[in-house]
């Protein structure tokens, strides 16, 4: 699953935070990171645990100075990781979600996307639709808007005034 996590994370943050300076590139990394790390190891484990996302959040807060641009940028990483857990439905597997608090031995657990094979295609289509909506809303058809996103990771919000400011 790729587009499902990118679309749900980006749309959720866009609607909830409405922060013009939010870095969606780092959010995308966080939204994909649990599967990128756990899938090659043969199953869901540490990256699909709530504890890992909390530890990454604590690390960002401790390492980056309060109010700094670096903290603002890197807080998007644990936010993306938390959203991955939500939209992957990891909370349905208590031993995995609460590892190691619910016990150290979780046994062999597939990456959740592999357990819902029949739903992956509709979810990926939904993710593409969400990303397409954000593309339209943020005027990504303009080259300078895309270049700004690549440079800063920021979305515009889709108003004509904001497109003219680029």
**What tens-digit pLDDT sequence spans the chain (166 residues)?**
899 999 999 999 999 988 888 999 999 999 999 989 888 887 777 888 899 999 999 999 999 888 788 888 999 999 999 999 999 888 877 777 777 776 677 666 767 777 777 888 999 999 999 999 999 999 999 999 999 999 999 998 644 444 445 4
pTM: 0.86
10/83 Cα distance (integer angstroms):
10
Quick one: CA dihedral 47, 53, 55, 61, positive or negative? positive
145/18 Cα distance (integer angstroms):
17
Asked whether residue 128 is domain-assigned, the answer is: yes
Counted domains in the chain? 1
Asked whether residue 161 is domain-assigned, the answer is: no
* 3 state SS of 163: helix
Asked whether residue 33 is domain-assigned, the answer is: yes
Asked whether residue 91 is domain-assigned, the answer is: yes
User: Residue 146's domain spans which residues?
Assistant: 1-150
**Element (DSSP H or E) covering residue 111:** none
145/156 Cα distance (integer angstroms):
8
**CB neighbour list of residue 65: distance below 8 Å, 6 or more residues apart:** 71
């Amino acid at each position: 699953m790729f587009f499902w996590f990118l679309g749900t994370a980006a749309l959720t943050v866009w609607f909830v935070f409405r922060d013009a300076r939010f870095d969606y590139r780092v959010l995308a990394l966080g939204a994909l990171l649990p599967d990128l790390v756990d899938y090659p190891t043969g199953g869901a484990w540490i990256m699909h645990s709530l504890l890992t996302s909390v530890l990454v959040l604590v690390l960002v807060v401790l390492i980056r100075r309060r109010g700094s641009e670096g903290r603002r940028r890197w807080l998007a990483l644990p936010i993306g990781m938390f959203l991955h857990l939500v939209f992957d439905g990891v909370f349905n597997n208590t031993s995995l979600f609460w590892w190691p608090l619910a016990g150290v031995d979780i046994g062999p657990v597939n990456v959740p996307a592999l357990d819902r094979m029949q739903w992956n295609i509709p979810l990926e289509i939904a993710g593409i639709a969400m990303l397409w909506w954000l593309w339209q809303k943020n005027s990504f058809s303009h080259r300078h808007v895309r270049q700004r996103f690549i440079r800063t990771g920021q979305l515009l919000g889709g108003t004509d005034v904001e497109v003219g400011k680029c």
